[in-house]
Structure 1
Amino acid sequence: MSDRPYELLLTAPGGGSVQDLTQLVQDLTWSGDVRQVCRELSASIAVPRDGSVELPALEEGTVLTLRRAGKPLFTGPLLTATTTTQSSVADLSALDRGRFLLKNEGWYKFSGVTPEGAAASIARDFGIPTGSLAATGVSVSRKFPGTALDRILRTLYNLAGERNGKRYLIRFTGDGKLEVVEKPNSASLTIASTMGVTNTWDITNLQNSVAIYTSQGSLVRRVEDGASIGRNGRLEHVLTQRDGEDAGGEAQAWLEDHGLTQKLTVETLGDPRLITGSAVLLKDTGSGVSGLFWVDTDTHTWKNKQYFTKVTLNFRDIVDDTLTGSEVE
C-alpha cells in the first residue's frame, strides 16, 4: 500500500494496461492558470536500471492520471519525457484534455444559439466528453473561420457575460470532461494559516476614463473614475456604441477591469480545492491582509512526502477578455 497522499498512474497508448508510478515519484507538481484552459502536470520519477522495478513505457499516446483519496484530479496525455544516461531520473510533463480545445481549430457560424448549446455541438464534433455546461440564458451570434476551439468557447461565453453580468470558467474535470462553470461571487473556501504572503499592487494597465462614441464618431459621454484621474491623470479607452444600445455597463466594467490591481502570492499547506477561478476568504493575521480574493494561478507540489500549495490571489475577479471571430451578417 502506498505511503503517498496521491497516486500517479500511467495508462498505455490506446487505453491499455495501467501502471502505478506512485512509488517512483521524486517530486510532483499540478498547476493551473485562470487564463489557460489547460491544467499542467509535471513529475520527476526514478527509473532504476538495475531491473529492480518494471520500467514504465514513456511513449507517445501514454496518459497520466493523478488521483487523491481515490478521486481523479488530472487526466491528460504525456507530452514530453526526458531521460539521460547520466541519471536514473526521468522528467515528465502533461497537459489535461484542455489540449484538445487548444490545438483543434474549427470553422463555425452560430446564429442565435446559446454558448452552452454551441459548446455541446463543438464537443460532439470533436469527440470531447462533456460534464456540466453552465446555462447562460443568452443567445449569441458569431462567425469563426478557422479558430482554435478554446478561443471560440471563450468568446461565446464572454459575449453572454457582457449581457447577463456573469463570468464563466472553461476547464476540464479530473476525469477528463469539458465543463463550464459560473465563477463564484462569494467564498466557499478559507485560508486561515499561511507560510508566506507577498503583496503587490499594480497600475500598469490602468485606464480610468472611457469615452463612448456613436458609430459616426460623435461623443455620447464619458464614464470616469474621478479619484483615479486626480491621482494619475486621464488614461482613456474608447468604446463605440451601437445604435439603440447603451454602452454604459460595458464602460463601467472596463474601468473595473483596468483599475488598480492587488495580487497576493500565498503559500499554504496543500489543499486540492484551491484551484484557479475559486473564490477564497483570506484570514491572515501575520500579513495584515484579509478579505475576499479570487485564485488566478495555483501550484500544488508534493515532495518528500509533504504537500504545499502556492496561489496567486486577485482582489478582482478578472475578466477573460478573449474576443475572436466576427459578427454574423
Structure 2
Amino acid sequence: MRIKIKDTDVTPLVISCTWSGSRLTVARTLDFTIVQDDRDENIPIVEADTGITVYGYKEADTETQTGALSAQTAAENADKQEEQPVFIGNIYKIERDRAKGTLHITAHDHAFVLAHSKTTRKFTSITPEEITKQICAELGVLPGNIVETGTPVSFIANRKTGYQIIMGAYNEAAKIIKQQAGKDENGKDKEDPKYQLLMNGAKLNVIKKGELIKSFVLDAAANMTESTYAESIENIVNQVMIVDKEGNRQSYVKDDDDIKKHSMFQDVYKEDPNKDTQTEAKALLKKPDRTGTVVALGDYRVISSYSVEVRDSLQNSQSAQFWVKSDTHTFRDGEHEMKLVLEYENMMEDEKVEKEKDKK
C-alpha cells in the first residue's frame, strides 16, 4: 500500500502497515509505522499530527502478464489509482519512539465520526435513506450512495451516535420489509434484507450487505496459507415461549429442525404492546455459532460487509459462500497478506431503537 500524509508520500519510510475493518467497529483503520529520526540528516522529517488527513492507495501496477509496462503507461496507471484512494481518514493517535527511531500512526476513516458523535432526534414516518442524509448533514459527514428502502420508520433517538441512529433506522425498515414479504414456497419466512455502512473515500455509503465479490475465490490449493473452522452450540436457542404481561403462556416460536438435531433450548419473551410480538420473539432464536478464520494472499477487494467463495476441504464442501466479518490486511517487505474472520450467515448488527409509548 502507498501512503500519503497530506501531500507527502511517505511510502519509502514505511516499515509496516495494517489496514483493517469489521462489521462491528464501523470505521476502517490504517495503522502504520515509519522511520523518523531527526539525528539522521538522510531521513526526511514528516509533518504529522492528530487531525491531519492520511491517504492509502493500491500499489501502482508496473507489470502485466505479457511483460513490463512502459514508464509512461505505469505513470498513467499510478495517476488513475491516485484518483481513487482505498482509504481516506484522519490521524487519531500518534507515538514517537526515540530509541527505535520510529513514528507510529493510527488513522480512522470518517465513519469514526458517526460512531462517536451523538445527537437526539425524533423521527416520524421518515425513510432510513433520508434519516442518513440528515444525520450526515448534522455531523459533518459527506453522503455518498445511500441504498433506498422506500420504507418510512418512526422512532426516538435519545443521545445516540450517528451510527446507532442510521443502523437502527435500517433495522426497523428491514423488519417491515420482511413482514411484507411473507413466506417462501416452503412456508418459511423470507430472509430479511441486510444493510451496512462503509466509507467510499470521503463519502458514506449504505449498501446491501453480503454482496459476493466477483471473480475471486479463496482456494486452499492456491491462495490460502492457513484456515480454521469452528462450531459451537453452547449458546443456541431453538424455542421461544411467548407470555403475556401476567406471565401466562400464549404461544411458541420454534426451529423444529434444530430441536430435532440438538434437543430443545428455550427462552421466554414477554409481550410488549409497543412491539411486534412475532418479530421480537423470533429475534431471540439463536443458531449455532460457526466461524472460520483464513490467512491468504492479499486482495484489496476483500473487506468486511462483503462475501467470498471458499474452496477448502476442511469446511466439508467443494465450494461455499462465506461472509467477511472482519479483515486485517498486512503490508510488509513488499508482501500483502490478509487475515479474514468469516461467518456462515449474512449477519447485520441488530441496533435497537426506542419507540414512542402508546398514549393511554
* Alpha-carbon spacing, 1:116–1:244, altered in 2? closer, same or farther (3 Å): closer
- Select which of 338, 343, 349 maps to 1:314: 343
- Select which of 223, 236, 247 maps to 2:266: 236
Q: Which residue of 2 aligns with 1:40?
A: 29
Q: For 2:86 and 2:213, locate their aligned partners in 1 and report how far apart those are by CA, in whole Å.
A: 21
- C-alpha contact 2:20 2:30 (8 A) present in aligned 1: yes
- Is 1:62 matched up with 2:52? yes
For structure 1, which runs of at least 5 residues remain unmatched after alignment? 1-5, 12-17
| AA in 2 matched with 1:208 | N
Deviation at 1:99, TM superposition (A): 1.3
1:83 partner SS? strand
Q: For 2:50 and 2:225, locate their aligned partners in 1 and report how far apart those are by CA, in whole Å.
A: 39
Deviation at 1:259, TM superposition (A): 0.8
2:217 partner SS? strand
- C-alpha contact 1:213 1:238 (8 A) present in aligned 2: yes
TM-score normalised to the size of structure 1? Answer: 0.88
Structure 1 residues 27-176: aligned runs within 5 Å: 27-49=16-38, 50-68=40-58, 69=60, 70=81, 71-164=84-177, 165-173=192-200, 175-176=201-202
* Alpha-carbon spacing, 1:325–1:51, altered in 2? closer, same or farther (3 Å): farther
**Mean Cα displacement is larger for which, 283-292 or 264-273?**
283-292
Q: For 1:91 and 1:52, locate their aligned partners in 2 and report how far apart those are by CA, in whole Å.
A: 19
1:196 partner SS? strand
Deviation at 1:253, TM superposition (A): 5.2
Deviation at 1:250, TM superposition (A): 5.2
Q: Which residue of 2 aligns with 1:23?
A: 12
- Is 1:281 matched up with 2:309? yes
- Is 1:205 matched up with 2:235? yes
Residues 35-60 of structure 1: CA deviation (Å, up to 9, x unaligned): 12111110011113312132111212
* Alpha-carbon spacing, 1:251–1:325, altered in 2? closer, same or farther (3 Å): closer
1:72 partner SS? coil
- Select which of 3, 6, 10 maps to 1:8: 3
**Mean Cα displacement is larger for which, 161-170 or 203-212?**
203-212
* Alpha-carbon spacing, 1:324–1:250, altered in 2? closer, same or farther (3 Å): closer
Q: For 2:29 and 2:234, locate their aligned partners in 1 and report how far apart those are by CA, in whole Å.
A: 28
Larger radius of gyration between Structure 1 and Structure 2:
2
Residues 60-110 of structure 1: CA deviation (Å, up to 9, x unaligned): 221111011423111111111111221112211111111110121111000
| AA in 1 matched with 2:210 | P
In the alignment of these two chains, the number of paired residues is 315
Residues 100-154 of structure 1: CA deviation (Å, up to 9, x unaligned): 1012111100000011101101111222101011111211111112211111111
For structure 2, which runs of at least 5 residues remain unmatched after alignment? 61-80, 178-191
CA RMSD across the alignment: 2.3
Residues 135-185 of structure 1: CA deviation (Å, up to 9, x unaligned): 112111111122111111111111111122211001111x12111101136
* Alpha-carbon spacing, 1:87–1:187, altered in 2? closer, same or farther (3 Å): closer
Q: For 2:267 and 2:161, locate their aligned partners in 1 and report how far apart those are by CA, in whole Å.
A: 28
**Mean Cα displacement is larger for which, 150-159 or 243-252?**
243-252
* Alpha-carbon spacing, 1:231–1:288, altered in 2? closer, same or farther (3 Å): closer
Q: For 1:160 and 1:276, locate their aligned partners in 2 and report how far apart those are by CA, in whole Å.
A: 22
Q: For 1:306 and 1:177, locate their aligned partners in 2 and report how far apart those are by CA, in whole Å.
A: 29
Q: For 2:134 and 2:151, locate their aligned partners in 1 and report how far apart those are by CA, in whole Å.
A: 16
TM-score normalised to the size of structure 2? Answer: 0.81
| AA in 2 matched with 1:61 | G
- C-alpha contact 2:50 2:94 (8 A) present in aligned 1: no
- C-alpha contact 1:31 1:297 (8 A) present in aligned 2: yes
